[in-house]
Structure 1
Amino acid sequence: MSVYTPVNRLQLEQFFSTYSLGEVTGFEGIKDGIENTNYFVTTTQGRFVLTLFESLTADDLPPFMELMTHLGSSEIACPAPLPGRQPNPLRILNNKPAALFNRLAGAAVASPSIAHCRQIGLHLARLHCATQDYVFPIRNSRGLNWCRSVFAEIGASLCPADRALIDDELRIQFQNSADLLPRGVIHADLFRDNVLFVDGRLSGLLDFYSACTDTLLLDIAITANDWCCDNGIVNPEKITNLLSAYETLRPLEPQERRHWPLMLRAAALRFWLSRLHHRLHPRPGEITQQKDPLIFRHILEQHRRQTSVISPRPAAWPSCFRPAADTRRRTDSDDLECGTDCTASS
């Protein structure tokens, strides 16, 4: 996604010589995202996406390649790795493992509508159903233990208000285990920039490199926190519609409904910590993207003020997400007591 490893035209031409996809006619780095290096590449025979993996090694990647191949065979709209003249889709480019994919049509939406939220809820349920019996060997490496470890690493750089909030939320999350909730393959990063639409219809799910086996409800919460919040303000109607669409294919179990408010909080905490860590310890790159940690702080605070569980009846869902009486849209000056980014100045 962000370009950490630059690639020149000669390297691309040598890379494409192992495929039968024509001659390279153009390429450009993709600026979105923060994990991998991605390029759009055009040849005389089509349009492709080239990914260079910055963290995952060649030994790490086969399960992800196999998962995307499985999803494609299950009619889930996602990129499938191209094997080229050899069956193994992985190559080495500029000392990094790399793979080539067909470029899916469409573009991400910056401001999702209710209709977009319904579609993403439905397709997330399709993803969970398509992998119901799929054995995926990757466990979530960014669960609560990871959150606690990151907090221990960066806590000294945060202001007292942030430290107190994170410490209290970690305490509550560890006291309320989600281990007995339904589990399966989750995307774990189904943000707006990882979904494509054409003429208002979902055309592709991208970036499965955070996929893992974990609690299905966590996947829904991660998705809802991004798709159903407008500039950091939770939108109850969007959450209602995302959940309603999801449940047309996979109804939630009673224990999932009870745990839903805590899972929304766990998902917000995980991405707040991730973005704080990325801001405090940025990776070098030619094109990089910093994402605002404050958004997830705001989302976490709103969820902490909400104590209701999902009602068993869909018609009652909106009341489950009605803000507390003292909730108001906050100005920038209200956001934090200790500064705009709430990290200690150097």
Structure 2
Amino acid sequence: MQETPFCLRVGNLLPYSMTDSNTTAFKNPSTFILQGIPGLEAAHIWISIPFCTMYIIAILGNFTILFIVKTEPSLHGPMYYFLCMLAVTDLVLTTSTLPKSLSIFWFNSREINFSACLTQMYFLHCFLEMESGILLAMALDRYVAICNPLRYSALLTNPVVAKIGLAVMLRGCMVILPIPILARQWPYCRSNIIPQPYCGHIAVVNLACADTRTSSYYGLFVLFCVRGLDVILIAVSYTQILRAIFSLPTKDARLKIFGTCSSHLFVILVFYIPGLFSSLMYRFGHNVPAHFHILFANVYLLIPPMLNPIIYGVRIKEIRSRLLQLLTHEGT
């Protein structure tokens, strides 16, 4: 009697036996099941409260930044245009994952179409790379403003800023495109259950019953050669910036100039350090409890979009002043 092949059922798995006749019996599942946070299903409602709160703060904060820059002509400059790009990226980044996660926590809506899963994966990783590119562009802006201030207006004109933004967008779109393409070609005959509340790259690829080293290696290439290159260029920029700051004659001047960079430095650290930790833990942290890693990965996707508008709103005097005017109805 022929053995029963392993098939994917919604929420149900049949026994698997690999035979010559069924090794290619199943290619792409019609539906994946997002498990949420395994082991903490009973606490999903409580977990959703801080998640939803952070999401609302991120949405309101980034829309506020966009509104302030749009309505205040004095803020129509390169630094603020890059800040708007960062705000838009953060809005898409959070919205690509959080609504589905909340639907799992609140309504137990775990199913996601295979194509929708790959689309979510693409948008998630694409906008992570875009955010990295925008942070690099903002570091370039600070480098020119501090190390070559007399040529700032000539170098960073509006067309140049637009070209930088377009280059960042195209790079993110193109470099991530192979990830869902590779993920689509693998045969999925182990399970259709993704042990987290969104379709992350490695979480999906790990379900394939094939040698997926190509996907894994390409993911590492993006992490180290694309985002890693951004980190190196940011470090070079800030090395030159710090040299320029420490060459200033007075302590007050050094503190004033450093204050203009401190907010950007903090945003960089919030984005890169947890992101690197999360990526490496996913690939190599096999002894880390699954629920800890999944919680950390979800919080990582929320913390930068939530904190970025707060940091810039507090640290940048022009934005802070305009926000206070709006809140107290004293603006013109």
For Structure 1 versus Structure 2, the TM-score category normalised by the shorter chain is under 0.3
Q: Relative to total residues, which structure has the larger helix share, 1 or 2?
A: 2
Q: TM-score, normalised by structure 2?
A: 0.27
- In our comparison, the structure showing a higher alpha carbon Rg is 2
Q: Relative to total residues, which structure has the larger strand share, 1 or 2?
A: 1
Q: Which has the bigger relative contact order, CA under 8 A and spacing at least 6?
A: 2
